[in-house]
Amino acid sequence: MTVEYNAEQKIPYPALWHVLYRSSTPFWDGVKEDKLLLQKCKSCGSFLNPPRPMCPKCQSMEQEWVPATGKGKLYSWVTYQESPHPAFKAPYSAVLIELEEGVRIVSNMVKVKPEELQIGMPVQVTFEKVAEDLILPKFETMS
């Protein structure tokens, strides 16, 4: 089960993404092409998550974007029993995925009921078009 969206409500996400948070645009451009990209420091090789203009370890301002394998494990999750926002129909779960690269990202599982979620379960990325202008990286159990 993924999140069921209410089609009449706008999903909250930053419309002025490229102005507010330029570091993140390559990630969302990648998602549009079904790619999960991670920001990496060119100087010391650390993954930067969330993306940012400077590496906190070596202060380098040179980064590159590398494709993730898309595989990982369920690190933790929560299940909303009541909807906190009209765009989302409860119940639904939000999950924290630890990717093979060690980077953790927030997402939703598709085709999995909340009661089937287990910390450590192997997952892989899939892409879901949730609105006319928005594709999101989501996760399914690894077959």
Partner 1 sequence: MLDEYVSRKYRDDWRPPVDANLIKNKVAIVGIGQTKFTRDSQRDELEMAVESIKAAVDDAGLKMEDIDGMEMFTIDRLAMPMVISTLGMKNIRFTSEVSFGGGAACAVTMHAAAAVATGATNYVVCFRSLNEASGQRYGRGDSYADYMLKAVTPHYGYHWPFGFVTPLAWAGVWGKRWMHEFGITREQIGWWPVVLRENAQNNPNAIYHGRPITHQDYMESPMIVDPLKLHDCCVDTDGACAYIVTTVERARDLQQTPAVILAAAQSCPMEQEIQTIYSRPVISGLVETWYAGQELYRIAEVGPDDIDVAQLYDPYSIGGIIQLEELGFCERGESGRFIEGGDNIRVGGKIPVNTSGGLLSEAYIHGFNLVIEGVRQIRGTSTNQVDNVELSMVTAGPGVPSSGIILRKD
Measured from the CB atom, the residue of 87 and 112 that comes closer to partner 1 is 87
Q: How far apart are CA 27 and CA 48, in angstroms?
A: 12
x/- letters, 82..101, toward partner 1 (CB under 8 A): x-xxxxx---x-x-x-----
Tell me how far, at minimum, the Cβ of 27 lies from partner 1, in Å.
Answer: 8
3-state secondary structure 35-99: CCEEEEECCCCCECCCCCCCCCCCCCCCEEEEECCCEEEEEEEEEECCCCCCCEECCEEEEEEEE
Which residues would be at the binding site for partner 1 (CB under 8 A)? 3, 11-14, 17, 20-21, 24, 49-50, 56-57, 75-82, 84-88, 92, 94, 96, 103-108, 114, 119, 130, 134, 136
